[in-house]
């Protein structure tokens, strides 16, 4: 039951004036080129849901790149064409960006490969999309401006909170849609309907997710982690048996669930302190725990984790239980430092998953103390000058010892303490030489 209603009043009401003016102009320029112009996808979905979304995706029946270039001229905007896909981005002088595509039927040489493009009509274009809620268009040409094109009962699904594929090959054409489905479920509190779930499960078991590049999977997971309740999304993926198609040796247990929940509690604190911490790496510290070396290498290559990151997971999982004890017993920072040292944010996150709220706040104090503690007067140079020490591991050892002491006691007199440390070293040395039998 295709449905066409005009929603220009709604657009006027819900969209900023400037955006409405832009959309009208896009339609008018479409007429000049004799092309039908539509705004499509997430923009339409969120407009109808009354959720702010200014990601303008334009589809034209005709050559999208030609349209984009024309728009570029009219507005003196920058046009970035992607010839291979018949798409282009138009970046206006104020930085506002729209994406322009050519109406197309994507067909795939092999599943999960890049689409081949074939110029087509809006209806076919919409039919190739992921879910009904994302498969509506609004026409922008003046005579039909504001007309909502709904060929597949999309509005009804949107109203009823239903996520539905448009055809049975949807997940095969793009398996990342399985993850997108979960994301939309969580974001809008919608549900995938029965048939969609059935096809999803079949395609999951069919190994289609495994055929997608790791980079694309990772992108989708990152998007899910940016949503409001990532924990809920992970649980949903677990229930759908999706996790093991992403992380092949991960058996999601109650314990793992609790660890992740605690890690998510700590995550904002780490992000305040370390910019650019990746949520994907963060959850990986738990999801990849106790992996064998070979599988770790496989996922490393697939998802592009740095070698150092993988090594640090291995290192951390071995010291987790003693560290948990030490933190719960509130041992001195200097003692914790001997085991944990100055670690990277992912080691802290990994550890946080083992800790109660109180443990986490002690860990946070440790982290802050480590990063604010600096030796002021005693340096390697100082030691070489004042005590004629030769450069070498001994100097580092002394500096580390002093640093550890300062962690517990920030007001120590560095020069005094270091003289004591050196005295101790010397007397130890003397004792050792005294005890050695005299040689010829
Ligand atoms: N799309 C699709 N299949 C995909 C990705 C996208 O069919 N695997 C289509 C959908 O119609 C979608 C549109 O392309 O609405 C734009 O995709 P994208 O910008 O990724 O998503 P949005 O729907 O805009 O969602 P978000 O709010 O998360 O950006």
* Strands lying side by side in the sheet with 87-91: 3-6, 147-150, 137-139, 36-40, 56-61, 97-102, 87-91, 78-82
Q: Is the CB of 139 under 6 A from ligand 1?
A: no
Contact 94, 75 (CB under 8 A): no
| Model confidence pLDDT, tens digit, residues 225-241 | 999 999 999 999 999 99
Give the pLDDT band of residue 308 (cuts 50, 70, 90): very high
Is residue 53 within 8 Å of 71, Cβ to Cβ? no
Ligand 1 atom index nearest CA of 135? 11
Backbone phi and psi for residue 5, each to the nearest 5 degrees, phi listed first? -130, 150
The reply to whether ligand 1 has any atom less than 6 angstroms from the CB of 41 is yes
Please state, in angstroms and rounded to a whole number, the distance separating the CA atoms of residues 379 and 364.
27
Q: Is 129 in the pocket of ligand 1 (CB under 6 A)?
A: yes
Is this prediction's ipTM beyond 0.90?
yes
| Domain map (residue ranges) of the chain | 1-160, 161-246, 256-372, 380-433
Could you report the per-residue pLDDT of 122-153, keeping only the tens digit for each?
999 999 999 999 999 999 999 999 999 999 99
Q: Tell me: the pLDDT tens digits for 15-43?
A: 999 999 999 999 999 999 999 999 999 99
What's the pLDDT score for residue 110?
46
The alpha carbon of 182 and the centre of ligand 1 are apart by a number of angstroms equal to 13
440 versus 349: the higher-pLDDT residue is 349
The answer on pLDDT for 301 being more than 80 is yes
Nearest CA to ligand 1 atom 15: 41
pLDDT band at 98 (very low <50, low <70, confident <90, very high): very high
Name the β-bridge partners of 91: 78, 97
Q: How far apart are CA 403 and CA 370, in angstroms?
A: 9
- CA distances, 303 to each of 188, 203, 356 (Å): 28, 21, 31
Overall CATH class of domain 161-246: mainly alpha
Question: With bands split at pLDDT 50, 70 and 90, how would you rate the model's confidence at 107?
Answer: very low
Confidence (pLDDT) at 430: 79
* pLDDT band at residue 333 using 50, 70 and 90 as cut-offs: very high
Computed over every residue of the chain, the mean pLDDT equals 92
57 lines ligand 1 (CB under 6 A): yes
Point out the least confidently predicted range of 40-49, 245-254, 384-393.
384-393
Cα–Cα nearest to 238, from 286, 297, 166, 281: 286
**In the block, residue with structure tokens 């206006």:** 92
pTM for the complete prediction?
0.89
- Mean pLDDT calculated for residue range 188-200: 98
Contact 61/36 with Cβ under 8 angstroms? Answer: yes
The pLDDT assigned to 380 comes to 87
Tell the CATH topology of 256-372. Methane Monooxygenase Hydroxylase; Chain G, domain 1 (1.20.58)
Query: Phi and psi for 166 in degrees, rounded to 5?
Result: -90, -25
Query: If you classify domain 1-160 with CATH, what class do you get?
Result: alpha beta
Ligand 1 geometric centre to CA of 49 (Å)? 16
pLDDT tops 50 at residue 109:
no
Predicted local confidence at residue 260, as pLDDT: 97
Please check the confidence at residue 370 and state whether its pLDDT lies above 50.
yes
Closest CA to 352 of 344, 339, 361, 340: 361
> Over 60: is that where the pLDDT of 347 sits?
yes
**42 Cβ inside 6 Å of ligand 1:** yes
Residue of the CA atom closest to atom 5 of ligand 1:
130
pLDDT of residue 200 exceeding 80, the answer is yes
The reply to whether ligand 1 has any atom less than 6 angstroms from the CB of 177 is yes
Query: Looking at residue 425, what is its pLDDT?
Result: 79
């Amino acid at each position: 039951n295709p449905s066409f209603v005009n929603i220009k009043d709604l657009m006027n009401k819900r969209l900023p004036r400037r955006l409405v003016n832009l959309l009208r102009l896009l339609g008018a320029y479409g007429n000049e080129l004799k092309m039908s112009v539509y705004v499509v996808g997430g923009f339409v979905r969120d407009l109808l849901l009354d959720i702010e979304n200014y990601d303008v995706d334009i589809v034209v029946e005709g050559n999208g790149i030609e349209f984009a270039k024309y728009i570029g001229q009219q507005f003196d905007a920058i046009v970035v064409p992607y010839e291979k896909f018949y798409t282009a981005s138009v970046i206006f002088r104020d930085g506002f960006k729209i994406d322009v595509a050519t109406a197309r039927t994507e067909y795939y040489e092999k599943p999960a490969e890049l689409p081949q493009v074939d110029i087509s009509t809006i209806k076919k274009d919409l039919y190739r999309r992921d879910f009904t809620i994302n498969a509506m268009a609004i026409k922008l040409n003046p005579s039909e401006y504001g007309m909502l094109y709904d060929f597949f009962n999309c509005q009804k699904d949107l109203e009823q909170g239903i996520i539905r594929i448009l055809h049975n090959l949807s997940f095969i054409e793009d398996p990342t849609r399985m993850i997108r489905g979960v994301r939309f479920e969580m974001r809008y509190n919608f549900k995938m309907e029965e048939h969609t779930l059935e096809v999803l499960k079949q395609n999951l078991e069919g190994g289609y997710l495994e055929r997608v590049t790791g980079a694309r999977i990772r992108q989708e997971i990152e998007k899910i982690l940016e949503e409001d309740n990532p924990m809920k999304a992970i649980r949903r993926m677990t229930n759908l048996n999706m996790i093991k198609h992403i992380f092949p040796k991960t058996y999601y247990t109650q314990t793992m669930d609790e660890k992740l929940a605690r890690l998510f509690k700590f995550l904002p604190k780490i992000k305040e302190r370390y910019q650019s911490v990746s949520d994907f790496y963060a959850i990986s510290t738990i999801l990849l725990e106790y992996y064998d070396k070979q599988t770790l290498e496989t996922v490393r290559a697939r998802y592009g984790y740095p070698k150092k990151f993988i090594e640090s997971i291995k290192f951390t999982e071995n010291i987790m239980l003693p560290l948990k004890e030490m933190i719960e017993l509130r041992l001195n920072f200097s003692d914790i430092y001997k085991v944990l040292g100055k670690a990277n944010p992912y080691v802290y996150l990994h550890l946080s998953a083992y800790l109660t709220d109180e443990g986490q706040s002690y860990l946070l104090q440790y982290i802050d103390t480590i990063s604010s503690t600096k030796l002021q007067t005693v340096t390697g140079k100082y030691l070489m000058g004042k005590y004629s020490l030769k450069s070498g591991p001994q100097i580092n050892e002394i500096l580390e010892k002093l640093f550890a002491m300062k962690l517990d006691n920030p007001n120590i007199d560095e020069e005094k303490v270091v003289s004591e440390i050196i005295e101790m070293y010397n007397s130890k040395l003397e004792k050792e030489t005294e005890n050695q039998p005299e040689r010829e």
